[in-house]
């Protein structure tokens, strides 16, 4: 209503919308533009100058069933090393990039009769795709993934710890260093090494949630000894790693 002065649409009909394009403005959910560990409560929506090149008010929604590369050919098996995590914190996903495109799916919204011949407001299926060094990996439903109860956020805002940087691993944890290992992982706890790379961390959270894993977003201000002891509903991180059916994923 504030953008158009005339369209009074019901918010409950727009739950899956992650962006809106109208005139020279793009209104985008901050969760799509930031690290998944960032607290966006003060600015849940950001305005950018521009549009998607289509008339009217466009509400961007994700595909109902996002597609993901299968990594099932013989020449891709070499990517699946599944090495034990050696304690080194690194960014192994520097080739990550996010791209926006549109499918042919489009559905008009009911804005009551206005006398105009054009469709004035509509849903349009927008594909947020992740590429690794220019090669397509997956489509994402970012908002749907981050709303999942499988994202463990209790660990994000703990006070900086004073313990030693050395990390005692209490159980075997696999290092996930490429998208093949993320999409086709072992049924064991894993660590996605994407330190300081907000796009890769966002992608990792979305893909791992889509694969049915719990995702633990590690805060940069805790060392491993304290991190494993952090509690959620009376259980430590180490207990969560052991108890989850397919192994939780820690995103650095």
* pLDDT digits 0-9 by tens, 35-44: 888 765 567 8
Q: What is the average pLDDT value for the chain, to the nearest integer? A: 80
pLDDT score at 169: 52
Cα 139 to Cα 62: distance, rounded to the nearest angstrom: 9
The set of residues, in sequence order, having a beta carbon less than 8 Å from that of 220 and lying 6+ positions away, is: 195
pLDDT score at 91: 92
- Judge whether residue 82 has pLDDT over 90: no
In this predicted model, which residue has the larger pLDDT, 34 or 82? 34
* pLDDT digits 0-9 by tens, 89-142: 889 999 999 999 998 899 888 766 555 556 788 899 999 999 999 999 999 999
Q: How confident is the model at residue 48 (pLDDT cuts 50, 70, 90)?
A: very high
Q: How confident is the model at residue 162 (pLDDT cuts 50, 70, 90)?
A: low
- Judge whether residue 68 has pLDDT over 70: yes
Contact by Cβ (8 Å): 19, 26: yes
Q: How confident is the model at residue 27 (pLDDT cuts 50, 70, 90)?
A: very high
Cα 194 to Cα 206: distance, rounded to the nearest angstrom: 14
Cα 30 to Cα 39: distance, rounded to the nearest angstrom: 10
Residue 61, CB-side half-sphere exposure with 13 Å CA sphere: 20
pLDDT score at 96: 96
User: Which pair of structure tokens corresponds to residue 46?
Assistant: 């950001």
- Judge whether residue 201 has pLDDT over 70: yes
pLDDT score at 148: 83
- What are the φ/ψ torsions at residue 142 (nearest 5 degrees)? -65, -50
Going from N- to C-terminal start, the domains of the chain cover 11-67+99-126, 136-251
SS3 (DSSP) at 110: coil
pLDDT score at 244: 63
Q: How confident is the model at residue 168 (pLDDT cuts 50, 70, 90)?
A: very low
Q: How confident is the model at residue 149 (pLDDT cuts 50, 70, 90)?
A: confident
């Amino acid at each position: 209503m504030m953008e158009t002065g005339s369209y009074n649409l019901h918010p409950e009909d727009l739950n899956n919308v992650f962006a809106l394009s109208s005139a020279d403005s793009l209104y985008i959910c901050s969760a799509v533009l930031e690290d998944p560990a960032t607290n966006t409560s003060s600015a849940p929506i950001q305005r950018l100058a521009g549009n998607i090149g289509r008339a009217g008010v466009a509400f961007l929604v994700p595909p109902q069933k996002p597609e993901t590369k299968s990594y099932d050919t013989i020449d891709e098996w070499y990517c699946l090393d599944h090495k034990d995590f050696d304690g080194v914190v690194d960014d192994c996903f520097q080739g990550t990039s996010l791209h926006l495109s549109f499918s042919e799916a489009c559905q008009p919204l009911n804005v009551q009769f206005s006398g105009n011949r054009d469709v004035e407001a509509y849903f349009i299926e927008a594909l947020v795709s992740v590429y690794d060094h220019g090669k397509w990996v997956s489509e994402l439903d970012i908002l749907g993934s981050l709303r999942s109860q499988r994202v463990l956020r209790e660990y994000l805002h703990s006070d900086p710890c004073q313990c030693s940087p050395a990390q005692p691993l209490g159980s075997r944890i696999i290092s996930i260093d490429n998208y093949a290992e993320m999409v086709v992982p072992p049924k064991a706890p894993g660590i996605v090494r994407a330190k300081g790379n907000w796009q890769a961390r966002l992608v990792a959270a979305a893909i791992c949630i889509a694969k049915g894993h719990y995702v633990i977003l590690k805060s940069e201000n805790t060392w491993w000894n304290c991190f494993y002891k952090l509690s959620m509903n009376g259980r430590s991180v180490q207990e969560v790693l052991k108890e989850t059916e397919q192994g939780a994923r820690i995103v650095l």
